[in-house]
Structure 1
Amino acid sequence: MRRPLLSPITAVLLLLSCAAPARAEPLPRRPPPTGPEQEMLDEAKRLVDQGRIADARDIHLTLWRLTRSASDAFRVGMLSFRLREFPMAAEFLSIYFDMVGTPEAPRIWVPPGFKEGYELARANFAEARRHVGALEVRVSEAGAAVLVDGRQVGASPLPRPVYVAPGQHRVGAQRAGQRVEEPVAVDAGGERTVWLVLRRAEAEAAARPPTGKPAAAQPRPARDPALRWWTVGGLAAASAALAVVGGVSVAEANDAAGERDAAFVRARWEVFRCRPGLPACDAYAEADGRARTFTALSAGAFIGAGLAAGGAVAAGFLLAPEAKVGVGAVGTAPGAALSFAW
């Protein structure tokens, strides 16, 4: 069967539809700056004109945190390059490149003269890259906080490398209470890939006892026999020394009491009433004071000796090795025996 021919009008319409270019979607464009943002931009420009590059960079860094715009990332990177802070320059210029694309295929709306600024940023990035190292951090789990030298640089997976000064660095990740950290060294212009594995599943499995089996009791640390004997011996020696002091004090108290009684008898025969300055009365007062002092000292010494002796006995029991239960034929129950190791 012969296929019908297309009409001339249909053919013309088909040609026109093929020749007409497809209308491209408008590229996203940054909203106009608000009043406060425009004031900050004007202030940053004034600071640049005055040569206060660091202050101007800080203003653009604040704007970047507020707007996340490519133009602020560009200015932070370029001003950081002028300050020779190469890690920050490389970081923000790489962010700028990811956001704007290329002059041939821009991802956002770009102003006239964009290509010249882009090429200058590329040249500055290449120069900054010669002075810094790049760390490509890969984490086993998504959503983990990635830290470099204690500073959080983002969440895994990171969209771009982390640029750092050459030398030794600490690279870590943490998530849900699990953390891993590794030391990493990188040279100027070099690049390292760091693999971090968060072993959360293994850690939880190790913390749980096996199914159907009771958890094994944690072994207690062995008690040092020397500690026991030093403690018991020290307390026993203190008790003995205090007992000796008590005995000597009792003897001294008895002698002083005898002298006091003799002085009292003399005072009764020599004078009608004791008063200071009389030999017999002074001897009585001095002997009475000594008797009271040594009596109190002997009482305290004996009490201390008793407490030290009790402490020695308590230490002997508390610091004794634990009883070991063995199999035997001695004991109240058949086949059970207790053996104590000292």
Structure 2
Amino acid sequence: MRKPFVRYPCLSILGAALLVRPSVASAADDARLNGTPPVEGASAGSSAGERAAQLYREGNRFYDEAKFVEAEARYQAAWDLQKSFDVAGNLGNVELELKRPREAAEHLAYALEAFPLGERPEKRRFLQDRLAQARSQVGTLRISVNVDNAEVFVDGKLIGLSPLQGEVFVDPGKRDIEARRAGARTSTSLLVARGSDQSITLSLDTGPSIPLVVAGGAVGLLGIASGVTFAFLSTSQGEYADGEPRGSRERAELRETQTTFANVSFWSFVGSGVVLAGTAVYVFSTSSRTPGPQAGITGFHAVPLVTSEVAGMLVGASF
């Protein structure tokens, strides 16, 4: 029978010296947890710490009696009250005995991550060996999302917000991975083998880029302003030409200038129309909202309008 990982008051829980035999301590030792774990903001004299210490002692006692289910329940309750590397180590150790490798891997990984610098190397090796055993029975995922603060779900269970810290341990088989943020969501499914290690990247539609939309709008409006300006100049040149004698050189030059300005105005409107239409399509296509079956824009058109009396653009859309 495996022995509990921690049988003596440890530095991370009690601030006292820890006497450890190689690998694990003997069940016959009478040294017990007699303090409170000062972790994650709980004071050494807090009622939560005292209750965690009591539960920890009870877990040790049940483990000595090979009552792993009862020991796991006590260690879990102590863990829920206050988290520390030694509670996590004992909890992961007994979970592995109970054939619950996924939970064991999570707690053993925490124990190694929070392992104090002053602890004995034998204890670290013990944790590493047990974690390796747990890893061989589950799948390890490294999940990343292209945006921060996205909710990440595995099989419908929220496991945290992106960016996730550390690895995610899952049971072998088909797993559904999903990310959500601000109404946008993306998901994928994969088959996980025992002992596998996979990296997954989820990409959420983050909506249109505001600087790009602003730049597109500004260029489009500048094009319209240019078209209006040259349309006005073209009209003015036409009026001047009307005042010159027919067949005169001045009249011909004014007409030529009028045509040039009219062409510049026309293509300015065409360019601005293309830019604004492209910007509109980009905004609608990158929107994070999911339209209904009959919703959305099905057609969009922009047509420049230049005459001797008016200059502008006709814009239309069908829904």
TM-score normalised by L of structure 1: 0.48
Contact 2:179 2:187 in 1 (8 A): yes
- When residues 152 and 83 of structure 1 are mapped into structure 2, their CA distance, relative to the original with a 3 A threshold, is same
In structure 2, the gaps of 5 or more residues are 1-10, 16-36, 39-43, 208-285, 303-314
Q: What secondary structure, in the 3-state scheme, does the structure 1 residue paired with 2:177 have?
A: strand
Q: Is 1:177 matched with 2:192?
A: no
Shift of 1:136: 0.8
Match of 2:50 in 1: 35
Match of 1:216 in 2: 318
- When residues 35 and 178 of structure 1 are mapped into structure 2, their CA distance, relative to the original with a 3 A threshold, is same
Contact 2:183 2:288 in 1 (8 A): no
Match of 1:129 in 2: 135
Contact 2:148 2:162 in 1 (8 A): yes
1:143-182 aligned within 5 A: 143-182=149-188
State the alpha-carbon separation in 1 of the partners of residues 152 and 85 from structure 2: 23
Amino acid in the other structure paired with 2:147: E
Q: Is 1:119 matched with 2:115?
A: no
Match of 1:203 among 279, 283, 287: 287
Task: Judging by fraction of residues, say which structure has more helix.
Answer: 1
Q: Deviations over 1:158-193 (max 9, x none)?
A: 111111122211111122222222101121111111
Contact 2:52 2:81 in 1 (8 A): no
State the alpha-carbon separation in 2 of the partners of residues 75 and 36 from structure 1: 17
- When residues 199 and 52 of structure 1 are mapped into structure 2, their CA distance, relative to the original with a 3 A threshold, is same
Shift of 1:27: 9.2
Shift of 1:72: 1.7
State the alpha-carbon separation in 1 of the partners of residues 316 and 12 from structure 2: 65
Shift of 1:126: 1.1
Contact 2:144 2:200 in 1 (8 A): yes
- When residues 205 and 126 of structure 1 are mapped into structure 2, their CA distance, relative to the original with a 3 A threshold, is closer
State the alpha-carbon separation in 1 of the partners of residues 301 and 73 from structure 2: 58
State the alpha-carbon separation in 1 of the partners of residues 186 and 80 from structure 2: 28
Q: What secondary structure, in the 3-state scheme, does the structure 2 residue paired with 1:68 have?
A: coil
Q: What secondary structure, in the 3-state scheme, does the structure 1 residue paired with 2:318 have?
A: coil
Shift of 1:119: 1.2
Q: What secondary structure, in the 3-state scheme, does the structure 1 residue paired with 2:61 have?
A: helix
State the alpha-carbon separation in 1 of the partners of residues 121 and 301 from structure 2: 66
Larger Rg belongs to: 1
State the alpha-carbon separation in 2 of the partners of residues 211 and 180 from structure 1: 32
Q: Deviations over 1:200-220 (max 9, x none)?
A: 312348868789966632xxx
Match of 1:141 in 2: 147
Amino acid in the other structure paired with 1:58: A
State the alpha-carbon separation in 2 of the partners of residues 48 and 172 from structure 1: 38
Amino acid in the other structure paired with 1:140: N
Q: What secondary structure, in the 3-state scheme, does the structure 2 residue paired with 1:203 have?
A: coil
- When residues 27 and 47 of structure 1 are mapped into structure 2, their CA distance, relative to the original with a 3 A threshold, is closer
State the alpha-carbon separation in 2 of the partners of residues 85 and 38 from structure 1: 24
Contact 2:184 2:288 in 1 (8 A): no
Match of 2:80 in 1: 65
In structure 1, the gaps of 5 or more residues are 1-25, 218-342
Residue identity over aligned pairs, in percent, reads 25
Q: Deviations over 1:30-51 (max 9, x none)?
A: 5247322222122212221232
Match of 2:70 in 1: 55
Match of 1:96 in 2: 111
Contact 2:175 2:189 in 1 (8 A): yes
Amino acid in the other structure paired with 2:155: D
State the alpha-carbon separation in 2 of the partners of residues 211 and 64 from structure 1: 63
Shift of 1:125: 1.1
State the alpha-carbon separation in 1 of the partners of residues 289 and 50 from structure 2: 57
Match of 1:80 in 2: 95
TM-score normalised by L of structure 2: 0.51
State the alpha-carbon separation in 1 of the partners of residues 127 and 142 from structure 2: 22
Contact 2:301 2:317 in 1 (8 A): no
Q: What secondary structure, in the 3-state scheme, does the structure 1 residue paired with 2:147 have?
A: coil
Amino acid in the other structure paired with 1:48: Y
Q: Deviations over 1:85-118 (max 9, x none)?
A: 11111111111111116xxxx2xx54xxx32222
State the alpha-carbon separation in 2 of the partners of residues 166 and 204 from structure 1: 33
